[in-house]
Structure 1
Amino acid sequence: MKRIIKHIVLLLLAAGIAGPVSSCSGNPAAPAADTAKTVARSAQQKIHKAGITDEQLFRAFLKQFKAAALQQNKKQLAAMFYFPLQTTPQWSNDDLGAAAINPAEGLVSANEYPQYEPAILNADALRLIPKSTEDDLSEIDGATTENYYKTVGKVTDRGSTLYELQQQYVQKNGKETSYGFVFGKVNGQYKIISYYSPWPVKG
């Protein structure tokens, strides 16, 4: 009889030891995935509480962009682009009805970028970007109906603001031309989401 009671006691002790693993506070330990989500949520709340606006984020990015162009730091500049990068010449809503516009034809992947970098970051662009002023910048209206901005903006964070840098200049041959960059916030960070000039980069 004593032997049976001893076995029962041992079984009860074993069951207690095999129970749920608890943290020091007595609560079950949180899975690693939940912990990561909590940390990310906490970081987002801190950013929100700090009141950092899209314009402030963009201005910080633009400052880095201009500095990298001045230093001709191609590696740093390449990291500022979002891929696939849209490089089709900027189209208007009127162009959609008058010509066959296929934005997919202008997309440049990260692997393709080195091939087209000389056309995107040519000597004129690297010279002019650091000298850009407020007159060259514009904020894209969130309610715009222009298909170009709606198309390139699809990759950006919902509700975020698009900005544009457009510069006109005279080439060595005496002819005027221009180029532009559109900036958008992707996963909380501003990137260059499109580049355009009068001529296609691809093809």
Structure 2
Amino acid sequence: MRVKKYIRLIATVLLLQVAYGCESQPAGATSPAVKPARDSSANTTKPAALTDEQLFRVFFSKFKNVIKTQNKTQIQSMFNFPLQTNPQWSNEDLKNSKVDYKSGLLTGVEFAAFYPDIFTKDAVKLIPASVEDDLSEIDKTTTEDYYKKLMPITDKGSTLYELEKQYTQDNGQETSFGFVFGKVKGSYKVISYYRPWPLKD
């Protein structure tokens, strides 16, 4: 009888080991769980940073679309203040007269008041219709004072771009306007606006 009890006890212990062993280790596992080796190439390469030209083109496309919708809050967010609004001057102009650089600076608070003068009916129509030929890349080594005065507010070594539109008004007179765009703290913004006469009298 003792032998039978002993055999039963051993059988019970073996059954318990088998039962608990199956719970603690998945079927088919022959060794402790090992995390799969991580692919060394995964998540180690960052996407290439966009060039200035690519960043500008993304910005400009958005700028044109926002002008179409006339969302003033969005439009203002695409400008850097203070904004230079003096008529564009050349180095030749500086030989004969002085330019009061600060007189044309427009603050964010003032922007709403001058908005209708910047975004006239013609401007709202012409800006979204702008094409490649209307755009210019400003040479980083330019000696023109107008651009050199704008460069310090932009990210060092970044590129300036310009949109200039010449057109004939309903009264038959020719006129023009332009915007200069620069990268400020990593994002492109409008950093100047000009037309043949001062925006701020």
Normalised by the length of structure 2, the TM-score is 0.76
- For 1:153 and 1:119, locate their aligned partners in 2 and report how far apart those are by CA, in whole Å: 25
User: How much has 1:66 moved relative to structure 2?
Assistant: 0.3
Q: Which structure's CA Rg is the greater one?
A: 2
1:86-125 CA distance string (max 9 Å, x none)? 0000000011111121111000011111111111111111
Q: Which residue of 2 aligns with 1:73?
A: 71
Q: 1:111 aligns with which of 101, 109, 112?
A: 109
Q: 2:150 aligns with which of 136, 149, 152?
A: 152
RMSD (Å) for aligned C-alpha atoms: 1.2
Q: Map 1:88-103 onto structure 2 (within 5 A).
A: 88-103=86-101
- For 1:117 and 1:99, locate their aligned partners in 2 and report how far apart those are by CA, in whole Å: 29
- For 1:175 and 1:136, locate their aligned partners in 2 and report how far apart those are by CA, in whole Å: 20
- For 2:113 and 2:98, locate their aligned partners in 1 and report how far apart those are by CA, in whole Å: 26
Normalised by the length of structure 1, the TM-score is 0.75
Q: Which residue of 2 aligns with 1:121?
A: 119
The amino acid that maps onto 2:127 is: I
Q: Which runs of 5+ in 1 are unaligned?
A: 1-44
The amino acid that maps onto 1:62 is: F
- Counting aligned pairs with the same residue, the percent is 57
- For 1:122 and 1:143, locate their aligned partners in 2 and report how far apart those are by CA, in whole Å: 33
Number of matched residues?
A: 157
1:53-105 CA distance string (max 9 Å, x none)? 00000000000000011112222111100000000000000111111211110
1:107-147 CA distance string (max 9 Å, x none)? 00111111111111111111100000011000000000000
- For 1:152 and 1:194, locate their aligned partners in 2 and report how far apart those are by CA, in whole Å: 8
Q: Which residue of 2 aligns with 1:143?
A: 141
The amino acid that maps onto 2:112 is: P
The amino acid that maps onto 2:54 is: Q
Q: 2:196 aligns with which of 189, 195, 198?
A: 198
- For 1:125 and 1:148, locate their aligned partners in 2 and report how far apart those are by CA, in whole Å: 22
What SS does structure 2 have at the residue aligned with 1:51? coil
What SS does structure 2 have at the residue aligned with 1:130? coil
User: How much has 1:182 moved relative to structure 2?
Assistant: 0.2
Q: Which residue of 1 aligns with 2:81?
A: 83
Q: 1:171 aligns with which of 155, 165, 169?
A: 169
- For 2:73 and 2:121, locate their aligned partners in 1 and report how far apart those are by CA, in whole Å: 16
Q: Which residue of 1 aligns with 2:179?
A: 181
The amino acid that maps onto 2:104 is: G
Q: Which runs of 5+ in 2 are unaligned?
A: 1-44
Write 1 or 2 for the structure with the bigger share of helix. Answer: 1
- For 2:49 and 2:199, locate their aligned partners in 1 and report how far apart those are by CA, in whole Å: 38
User: How much has 1:51 moved relative to structure 2?
Assistant: 3.1
What SS does structure 2 have at the residue aligned with 1:138? strand
